[in-house]
Amino acid sequence: MLDEIQSETASQMMNSILYQTSPPGSTGLPGLDAHLLFSTPHHSSATSSLNRGDFIEIQGPAASGKTQLVYHLTMKCILPQEVILTFVDDSMHLPHKVDAGGWCKAAVIIDTDGRWNVQRLKCLLVKHLEKAIIPISNGEFHPSLQELVIQSLKRVHMFRPTSSVSLAATILRLPAYHTEHMPSLEIALLVIDSISSFYWLDRYAFEQQRYSASNNKKDGVSPLNRILVALQDFRLSHGPVIALTNWGLTPVSNTSVSANPGVSQVDSAASVPTPFYRQHLHPFPAPFEVPPRILPNPRLFPPITHHITLPSPQALDIPSGGTADLKEARAFETRSPAAVDKYEFTGILRTTVEGSTASVFNFYIREDGITG
C-alpha cells in the first residue's frame, strides 16, 4: 500500500507552485501561439501560450528551419520583459518604459552539432531591441543597446557534449550547475539541438555489441534511455520548457483504406505520402504512431506535449561567423545584399491532448529574425 503513495522532492513541490505563479511566456509567433492556447485545456496565464514543463519535439529534414526556430525561442527567453530607458535628447530625462517582449529568464543550450552561433543570436537580439526602441526615439539612450544585449546574453548557458553519454551527464549535472552559477535565475528553456546527433554512432555501437562475444558482460541500457530519464528528472525538478530538434529521416505514409487494422499505417505497402516523419530513435516517445509505440517504464520519460513537423523547405543561406562586437552584429545582415528578403516556412503542430487536431502555421525566416 505504501508503494502506491506517490512522493515528490522539495524542488518538485516548488515547481508545481511555480507552474501556476510563474508561466514561461509566449513564442511570439501568432499562428503557433494561437494553436497552443486553443489546444491545451489549461494555461496559468492568458498571455503565456506555453506551460512549465512543456516538451516540444521539432522534427524535419535538413535546412527546414529547426535550429532557427529554437534560436527564436532562446531569444524570447533571455530578452527582458520590459526595459526602462532614459533618452539623452530628452531635456526632462524622464524614464520611458519599453516592452521588450521577453521572458527575462535563463536558457540552457545543449549544442550537440557544434554549430550554434552566438553571433547569430546577438544579431537577433540587436534587431529585436532596435524595432522596440526606434519607434519611441532615434536618439541615444541609457542603458545602451550594447548593454541590453550583453545583459540578455548573460542569461544563456551553452554546453557542447560529444557523445550520448556526455549528453546524459550534462543534463544530470544541470541542477548543480544551476545552483552554482545562476541561483537567482530561473531556467525557463532547455534546448537540445539535435537529439539525433549521435544516432549513427550509437547505432553502430549497438550493432557491435549485438555481435560481440562479450555482449552479455556489457550494460544493456541504451544511452538514449539515460538521456530521457535525466531529462524527465530535470523537467520535474525545474520545470523548463524543453525543445528538442530531431531529424526527419523516414517519411510516414498513410492509406485511405487499410485491409488490416493491425498493420501499422507507416508500414503499409499501398500508401500515399504525408508530411510527417517516422520516429527513428529508440526508446523515444512517439505519441502519433499507429499502432502506439510501447515503451519500457514510460513514466520515467518526459511525455511529448507538442510536436512540430517542418516539411521539406526552400533553400536557406544565413551567414555565419564568430563572436563579434555590436557594430559587426549590425553589419551581419548586409553581408549578402543579393539574398532573398525572407523565406517562408510551414509548420504542422500536433498536441497530445485528446480531441485536438493538427494545425498549420506559417513563419518567415529573415536574416534579422523570425516573424509569424
Q: How far apart are CA 175 and CA 137, in angstroms?
A: 42
Q: How far apart are CA 282 and CA 263, in angstroms?
A: 20
Q: What is the pLDDT of residue 319?
A: 46
Which residues have CB under 8 Å from 147's CB, separation 6+? none
Averaged over 182-191, what is the pLDDT? 96
Q: What is the pLDDT of residue 96?
A: 83
Q: How far apart are CA 113 and CA 115, in angstroms?
A: 5
Averaged over 292-308, what is the pLDDT? 91
Q: Rounded to whole angstroms, what are the CA distances from 59 to 220, 241, 305, 309?
A: 28, 17, 14, 5
DSSP reduced 3-state for 58 = strand
Q: How far apart are CA 366 and CA 284, in angstroms?
A: 33
> What is the extent of the structural domain holding 91?
47-337
- pLDDT class of 39 with cuts at 50, 70, 90: confident
The more confident residue out of 257 and 235 is 235
CB 134 within 8 A of CB 96: no
Residues found in the chain: 372
Tell the burial category of 227 from Cβ atoms under 10 Å away from its Cβ (0-12, 13-18, 19+): buried
In a domain, 162, yes or no: yes
Looking at the 3D structure of the chain, how many domains does it have? 1
**Minimal CA–CA distance to 320: which of 335, 342, 337, 306?**
335
Judged by average pLDDT, the poorest of 65-74, 88-97, 196-205 is 88-97
- pLDDT class of 274 with cuts at 50, 70, 90: confident
Evaluate if residue 6 carries a pLDDT over 70. no
Q: What is the pLDDT of residue 201?
A: 93
In a domain, 101, yes or no: yes
- pLDDT class of 45 with cuts at 50, 70, 90: confident
Q: Chain-wide mean pLDDT for the chain?
A: 82
Q: Rounded to whole angstroms, what are the CA distances from 10 to 16, 106, 190?
A: 10, 21, 21
The Cβ-side half-sphere exposure at 270, using a 13 Å CA radius, reads 6
> Which string of b and e fits 40-69 if b means at least 16 CB within 10 Å?
beeeeeeebbbbbbbbbbbbbeebbbbbbb
Alpha helices, H only, 134-211: 145-153, 164-181, 199-210
DSSP reduced 3-state for 276 = strand
Judged by average pLDDT, the poorest of 180-184, 202-206, 246-250, 344-348 is 202-206
Judged by average pLDDT, the poorest of 74-83, 163-172, 212-221, 353-362 is 212-221
Judged by average pLDDT, the poorest of 5-19, 117-131, 318-332, 342-356 is 318-332
In a domain, 2, yes or no: no
DSSP 4: G
Judged by average pLDDT, the poorest of 57-66, 164-173, 211-220, 246-255 is 211-220
CB 161 within 8 A of CB 167: yes
The more confident residue out of 313 and 264 is 313
349 φ/ψ angles, rounded to the nearest 5 degrees: -105, 125
In a domain, 3, yes or no: no
Averaged over 7-12, what is the pLDDT? 58
Instruction: Count the neighbouring beta carbons within 10 Å of the beta carbon of residue 81.
Output: 12
In a domain, 363, yes or no: no
Averaged over 260-264, what is the pLDDT? 38
Evaluate if residue 16 carries a pLDDT over 50. yes
CB 365 within 8 A of CB 342: yes
In a domain, 358, yes or no: no
DSSP reduced 3-state for 123 = helix
Q: How far apart are CA 181 and CA 144, in angstroms?
A: 26
In a domain, 12, yes or no: no
The rounded percent of the chain whose pLDDT value lies above 90 is 54
Q: How far apart are CA 14 and CA 16, in angstroms?
A: 5
In a domain, 370, yes or no: no
